[in-house]
Amino acid sequence: MKAFGLVFPNQVGLAAGYDKDGLGLHGLAALGFGHVEIGTVTPQPQKGNPRPRIFRLVEDEALINRMGFPGRGAALVARRLAGRRPDDLVLGVNMGKNRETSLEDASNDYIQLIKIFAPLVDYLVVNVSSPNTPGLRQLQAKEALRDLLGKMDRERHLQEDLLGNRVPLLVKLSPDLTDGELEDALQVIVDTHIDGVIASNTTVARPKLQSPLAGQSGGLSGLPLKSTSTRMIQQIYRTTGGNLPIIGVGGIMSPSDAQEKLDAGATLIQLYSGLVYRGPRLVREILEALNN
């Protein structure tokens, strides 16, 4: 499977948020993932939001998290990724700004992360869609996004010249964008030569939920996000004429859910909440179904 100029051993990957610091690459690769996305990584270590900050909504097969990008920082993750990595595993890093970095200075954080990780990974992701870092989603607005991604593209080209190869740059978008906001974001993404999108991050919307934890603040993932993310993939595919590669993520709990994302226009898929409710066997089940 080819996407973003890379060759993937299969279409199933692990979404960012599961292995924030690159601690479990070899074990995760053994489960059958074709790619693993580390992070979200910030330049400096940070504790994230106060605990408790992740909740299992069993009745809804969902999670709510308000983690706030906790992690050990870019320097430690870079040391981890500089070691031997699993054969054939495509590796990405999802990048975010530190909580204390202002929106005006956010591009400095992302540029620093590109410099650190471009030599170490296969692709990079600009995360401007987490609902758990105050103000972060404002960077998805048309002009703010144009300014940020323009700077990211220029830095990526500098790294390309230094490294002698192109490191694909993707953007992870929010499912809470209106149709117009999504179309604006996609226009900017195409104009700034970004290689693809991830659809989608968690949602602050609360569809009909059964769990008594439904009122917790944070981003909702899992089964209730499935149809929203699928519709978003369809809109991205239509808007871009199928010319912008999409990684589909959100509510994939079964092989049929995975196929739904691919049928909607996704090139690759990623799992997160499905691992919580279906366990690691879900990876093999999806791969077997896709290969039949």
Where in the sequence numbering do the catalytic residues fall? 130
Place of tokens 């896709």: 290
Strands ordered across the beta sheet of 62-65: 54-57, 62-65, 219-222
Phi-psi region of 128 (alpha: psi -120 to 50; beta: other; left: phi over 0): alpha
Whose CA is closest to 70, among 37, 54, 52, 47?
A: 47
Burial 58-82 (b: 16+ CB within 10 A, else e): eebbbbbbbbbbbbbebeebbebbe
